[in-house]
A and B are shown apart, each in its own frame.
Chain A
Amino acid sequence: DGGITQSPKYLFRKEGQNVTLSCEQNLNHDAMYWYRQDPGQGLRLIYYSQIVNDFQKGDIAEGYSVSREKKESFPLTVTSAQKNPTAFYLCASSISGAGSIYEQYFGPGTRLTVT
């Protein structure tokens, strides 16, 4: 089955700890994205990558970091510098990069709670 997987579904961390969210796709898509969703605010772009070993900041990149060492994988690290990390995080991929006409396919999301 082709698709995008995210793990874990739920994650609990204490304030001050870094945490890494996993995102893997087997759709052979070049582009991958990370979004954050808060109630009533839709999806906000954190980082995106249009090709292996390259990525760009989105609108709310502060306190987050990513890597794209393999085409299939785009992990997101939420660092202790992120002021309000508790949120629902969605990973997505598309055939080619943002600004193209291709739709995005989304993973099931990870709900992160930091206390």
Chain B
Amino acid sequence: EDKVVQSPLSLVVHEGDTVTLNCSYEVTNFRSLLWYKQEKKAPTFLFMLTSSGIEKKSGRLSSILDKKELFSILNITATQTGDSAIYLCAVSFYDKVIFGPGTSLSVIP
């Protein structure tokens, strides 16, 4: 069965900490893996990964994909309260997209 698993499901950290969010998947005909941030309502796009080993970076956020081991990580360094959100991992394959359950991140001052 095609599936996307994220861990941890919930995380509480202090401002300034570094966090690593995990996403593993089992799908056929993999096309891409995408990370989204959902603060209140609409998820917003962060990264799309299609090739193994190539890190994508945007400010304090970075992500990498391992297509051999079927997982991706999303790193956030020097966390801020504005990073508090649900982080969703999605995998695009064949003719559909599957989302993981999300990781709820809370950053406390």
Residues of A whose CB lies within 8 Å of any CB of B are 4, 33, 35, 40-45, 48, 56, 58, 88, 90, 97-101, 103-109
User: Do B93 and A99 touch (CB < 8 A)?
Assistant: yes
A99–B91 alpha-carbon span in the complex (Å): 9
Interface stretch (choices B14-22, B42-50, B59-67, B77-85): B42-50
Interface majority SS on B: helix, strand, loop or mixed? Answer: strand
User: Do B92 and A106 touch (CB < 8 A)?
Assistant: no
In the bound complex, residues from chain A placing their C-beta under 8 Å from that of B36 are 106
Which residue in B32, B100, B101 is a CB contact (below 8 Å) of A101?
B32
Do A109 and B41 form a contact, CB below 8 Å, given A40-B101, A42-B101? yes
A56–B88 alpha-carbon span in the complex (Å): 23
User: Do A42 and B100 touch (CB < 8 A)?
Assistant: yes
User: Do A98 and B96 touch (CB < 8 A)?
Assistant: yes
In the bound complex, residues from chain B placing their C-beta under 8 Å from that of A105 are 45
A4–B45 alpha-carbon span in the complex (Å): 14
Give the interface residue-count category, chain B: 20 to 34
Enumerate 5 A-B pairs (CB-CB under 8 Å) in ascending A order.
A40-B9, A97-B95, A98-B96, A101-B92, A103-B45
CB distance from A92 to the nearest CB of B (A): 8
In the bound complex, residues from chain B placing their C-beta under 8 Å from that of A97 are 95
Q: Across the two chains, which residue of chain A brings its CB closest to B50?
A: A101
CB distance from A43 to the nearest CB of B (A): 4
A105–B48 alpha-carbon span in the complex (Å): 13
CB distance from A46 to the nearest CB of B (A): 12
In the bound complex, residues from chain A placing their C-beta under 8 Å from that of B43 are 43, 90, 106
User: Do B96 and A99 touch (CB < 8 A)?
Assistant: yes
A97–B4 alpha-carbon span in the complex (Å): 19
